[in-house]
Structure 1
């Protein structure tokens, strides 16, 4: 796609150029070194330079390196260059409207002229390269760029919430479904409901106080429901203060409300009729959203709402929790593993509420509530933290399927708790408090864990025997060199990690970001960076070094691109001169770190350029590299065996304490 009148100051990184050209970042670096005509840097740093988009596009065209796939990537930096989050978001939404109605003209008069021009170009690109695909691309890049200002519901979680609501509503077999989301954001939950419900007569009603988010939600739902007779209405308003859907009664309500907002309208809404279970305290805005959802449910309708765990136990909300339980409206609480949604470090909860079949504020007397602890369905050690969505969804749906079957068999980790027990002085509905000891691990799972530990110990024994046979005599000291000298000799390149800007952070499908605090925890990245922002990236086969005393380590990175935070370094070797595993093994020797560090405190930095490396011909490095690999595998097996053993000790102890021992 050839664009016109592009601002010369729109910056692009090496990673963005690689995406535009459909090549790897290394290829772009190679072009920059080999071609004197490659555009000069206009900003950034030596490690993460920035270039002019217009100059890059022209150079790619002149050198025959611009593929047809680069259209969307060429367009996105210009949206980002608008500067305003609202302008770029509204422009993307308007472009989506123009894609679906090509004969109409832009009506968003509040947009600046540069944004209006982009609207037309994006609409034309969408009609040639795929309307929905182009919109989803631009939307995802926008969400990635502004992730710190927004909170979205990941698609797997949105689908799970929609499925629960559909499965638990009463008298839900007929045609027609009204879905309500009073804090819809960009429409993830409504879109999931539309995908899960295949019947006729679908209505998607939502409210969002942010005009840009509301416009994007409306655009998203337009694509999701294309080809179906669906009524969609997204209103821009503060749902609690100025309810635009007063009187609405929906079949299901889905909501991921804003958390911990103290200014939610406590004073002006003190006498609101929605508070049938008590005025929510100023510090309990989430309970205001819960009652707002209940007020908009038809008889027998179901609401599923995502809440922080503190709502289940805070003292200020116990009176309202007690009323929800006594009236039979709060039917289930599901504790999710960390990483399901923002904030990713917290184990969020889903509350399942159901309105009384007769339309009153009190459902038929309930004897218990279903509490489900699904926090164990995480992926420890995975590169991108988060749950095992397939296993989590299957488990939660199987547990909730037993909601109205008092005699049904619940899966391990789910329990029915009588209201007599729940309605104590605390009214704590946290699932982890009520699941019985040992319920989280079945006998079959214990047997599998013992087998896994036995396998790890067998491998550990084999490696122990191999490593014990190493001949480590008092050989003559070998000549060493430093990382700094190797850089000067061209045997490797050194790049320093950096802290991304606020707008560069992302929680979407972007590049994982590894930081020193992550290494101090479990070694898995806890966040990510948008693919279009400047950052230092380790590729498969690069050596990564943590240059701080408290977390000193060096290893060969395996897998996809990995962005590095401050005090982390990437070394890219010339394979003709250096073996990456040999280099990493030499660098991570504890004595090496002690020599290169100041050790004034645990946060002292290590001078990476001073780290020592043996001077050996490439053919001799191979034997050292293989031994270093075995030593790394030995260390990993030790860690794995320790983790498995500790888990088994805890699981077996729980089951013993519950009286599960049936013989010696």
Structure 2
């Protein structure tokens, strides 16, 4: 049915191209016989020819307000290879700057042709905007393979480094990022420098990402005085900038990589605070940054929380504290960056000033707990960036002023208290957050509650109009029978092995039944190599224990499943994932499949019942199931928000805070 040269697009992509919702596209397909026919996919998830869709949309007046970017992206995606599509985007950016530049012969003929069309579109519709659009789509497509620094966090890290460093050079600002990815941190440093001459040096071992970083920084040179030098290399093993000394260094290094060069770098001169253990690659990156700082220069590095307390790294942490290099640690809210389930930390370091007038090391360290600035709801929603930025920068304002009071949630900890047997610099151990909410925060919370209540009222009205009947008999089948028929596969979560040492695949969040009984957020990290069952976007997850029974479609990064959790992967031509999850989520279904009457009993997943419906009818049911799920989520969110408001306002009233 498919055409070899046709670029396939889904209903969701057609909706983006036309600037409408997916439901509108479904309506066009049902009402217009002239709508393009499916060339691939299934009845539930059809795919259509991009050329035919574009022609139909133009003939029916559906492309009046849409530019060419949405039509361009599916062709980049159709290149297939992550590297080729990424390099094609970088090449297109280069051609936008230099129309006469030749296109790299490393690209396929199709990619070279696409580069020319993208460059032409960029010159007419805005080069930087076109590049950022294509880059963002590329990042979204390959989100499971890439870890990026969110722009608000990158801007905060850059601002901290600029504020903490001491002294300025006449020849401008030098910025180092030895693991630059797609250049979010380097770009933020340029933008936060506000007119200074900036020289950016960076390393990235992935050549595609290095090319995209160079392209991104090239656009910034239009508005800033910027010189860039981005090398494709592993900065720890093969440092091309060993003689460079930077004013500020920013880094979001790879986490939990055991194969970072421990053996071959054992005698490296960068380890002035001690040879990092094989299990502490993050401390290798910390010392790499320090080795490249000018006297008085500052480094800000994003690290997992375990680095602050792991036994293996206490000797190096102690040296960083005694020499006064580690100046502050900031605990961020979960969701600030990948992995989203973990409260990551910012380590703020400063090289000792030079000269005889240099002050002795500070007698204390500033520890800041900013975890309270998280949004209510799902972990993917991220923190409240503006108040978080304001709080952190305000707290750091007291860093070099011993006489200044610190903000609530921040604390100065004397070195003598930290240099014990553990050398734990986790902010939550010392910083207690008891501040009452401000009037602005309360007003924002009330507005948010009102918005959710209005939305709930609309959803309630729509759901109340459903025509429901309990008289219609419907046949059902069991999950076990669906597995036998090949409609889905069933995998049982397990406890990761404690002796697993492989970490080449990075780390994954680990979800357990205990996490579900708390707030549903994964409570730990495990090496990917030790995770027997990994659930991915679109899989159905079922908790197989009565006290925590639930079922949902997983949305988000790959996650490891612990015991009594099950992953169901559907054949989309036979089953709709949201329809399946809705059927399984019915409380009566879980009770009937329970093995005992107690709340701690197991649920026999294979006995769970699912309606037998054709794919088109499944889609209708799936939409209603999703509406109910959204209604439930908003109901829970407004309940939590309301409980917090009642608690906060009650405390203020009891303290005499009513203005009369």
Q: Return the offset for 1:297.
A: 0.5
2:187 and 2:632 mapped to 1: Cα distance?
A: 50
Equivalence for 1:378: 374
1:483 and 1:609 in contact (8 A); partners too: no
Equivalence for 1:279: 275
Q: Return the offset for 1:598.
A: 4.0
2:545 and 2:81 mapped to 1: Cα distance?
A: 37
Query: SS of the residue aligned with 1:301?
Result: strand
Change (3 A) 1:201 1:630: closer
2:634 and 2:234 mapped to 1: Cα distance?
A: 55
Equivalence for 2:434: 441
* Match of residue 68, structure 2, among 67, 71, 90: 71
Q: Return the offset for 1:35.
A: 2.2
Q: Return the offset for 1:338.
A: 0.7
2:309 and 2:245 mapped to 1: Cα distance?
A: 29
TM-score by length of 2: 0.72
Change (3 A) 1:329 1:234: same
Query: SS of the residue aligned with 1:170?
Result: coil
1:568 and 1:155 mapped to 2: Cα distance?
A: 35
TM-score by length of 1: 0.72
* Match of residue 200, structure 1, among 196, 199, 219: 196
1:547 and 1:607 in contact (8 A); partners too: no
Change (3 A) 1:569 1:387: same
Pair 1:28-2:33 in alignment: no
Pair 1:164-2:163 in alignment: no
1:170 and 1:301 in contact (8 A); partners too: yes
| Greater mean alpha carbon deviation, residues 229-238 or residues 402-411 | 229-238
1:232 and 1:517 mapped to 2: Cα distance?
A: 48
Change (3 A) 1:427 1:77: same
Change (3 A) 1:325 1:444: same
1:255 and 1:304 in contact (8 A); partners too: yes
* Match of residue 58, structure 1, among 34, 47, 55: 55
Q: Return the offset for 1:54.
A: 2.3
Equivalence for 1:39: 36
Q: Return the offset for 1:599.
A: 4.1
Q: Return the offset for 1:111.
A: 1.0
Q: Return the offset for 1:643.
A: 6.5
Change (3 A) 1:53 1:372: same
* Match of residue 320, structure 2, among 312, 320, 324: 324
How many residue pairs align between the two structures? 538
* Match of residue 77, structure 2, among 58, 76, 80: 80
1:384 and 1:524 in contact (8 A); partners too: no
Pair 1:113-2:109 in alignment: yes
2:59 and 2:639 mapped to 1: Cα distance?
A: 55
- 1:271-325 C-alpha deviation (Å, 9 max, x unpaired): 1111111111111111111111011101100000001111111111111111111
Q: Return the offset for 1:235.
A: 1.0
1:333 and 1:430 in contact (8 A); partners too: yes
1:220 and 1:109 mapped to 2: Cα distance?
A: 21
1:7-22 equivalences in 2 (<5 Å): 8-22=5-19
2:195 and 2:224 in contact (8 A); partners too: no
2:248 and 2:293 in contact (8 A); partners too: yes
| Greater mean alpha carbon deviation, residues 224-233 or residues 259-268 | 224-233
- 1:524-554 C-alpha deviation (Å, 9 max, x unpaired): 999xxxxxxx9989xxxxxxx9999855599
Equivalence for 1:309: 305
Change (3 A) 1:37 1:444: closer
2:634 and 2:212 mapped to 1: Cα distance?
A: 48
Query: SS of the residue aligned with 1:376?
Result: helix
Q: Return the offset for 1:268.
A: 1.1
Mark the runs of 5 or more structure 1 residues left unpaired by the alignment. Answer: 1-5, 461-477, 486-495, 500-514, 527-533, 538-544, 555-563, 572-583, 612-628, 653-664
* Match of residue 296, structure 2, among 285, 296, 300: 300
* Match of residue 388, structure 2, among 382, 387, 392: 392
Change (3 A) 1:188 1:479: closer
Q: Return the offset for 1:422.
A: 0.8
1:39 and 1:59 in contact (8 A); partners too: yes
* Match of residue 418, structure 1, among 398, 414, 430: 414
1:217 and 1:630 mapped to 2: Cα distance?
A: 41
2:270 and 2:381 mapped to 1: Cα distance?
A: 38
Pair 1:255-2:251 in alignment: yes
Largest Rg, 1 or 2: 1
1:90 and 1:216 in contact (8 A); partners too: yes
Change (3 A) 1:631 1:160: closer
1:245 and 1:290 mapped to 2: Cα distance?
A: 16
Change (3 A) 1:188 1:599: same
- 1:483-523 C-alpha deviation (Å, 9 max, x unpaired): 969xxxxxxxxxx9999xxxxxxxxxxxxxxx999987647
1:211 and 1:587 mapped to 2: Cα distance?
A: 45
Change (3 A) 1:95 1:553: closer
Change (3 A) 1:290 1:183: same
Q: Return the offset for 1:419.
A: 0.8
Q: Return the offset for 1:18.
A: 1.4
Q: Return the offset for 1:413.
A: 1.1
Q: Return the offset for 1:11.
A: 1.4
Change (3 A) 1:371 1:587: closer
Query: SS of the residue aligned with 2:38?
Result: coil
1:118-129 equivalences in 2 (<5 Å): 118-129=114-125
1:632 and 1:324 mapped to 2: Cα distance?
A: 45
Equivalence for 1:480: 470
1:281 and 1:316 in contact (8 A); partners too: yes
Change (3 A) 1:446 1:217: closer
Change (3 A) 1:140 1:104: same
1:166 and 1:172 in contact (8 A); partners too: no
Equivalence for 2:363: 367
Change (3 A) 1:270 1:647: farther
Equivalence for 2:603: 602
Change (3 A) 1:335 1:517: same
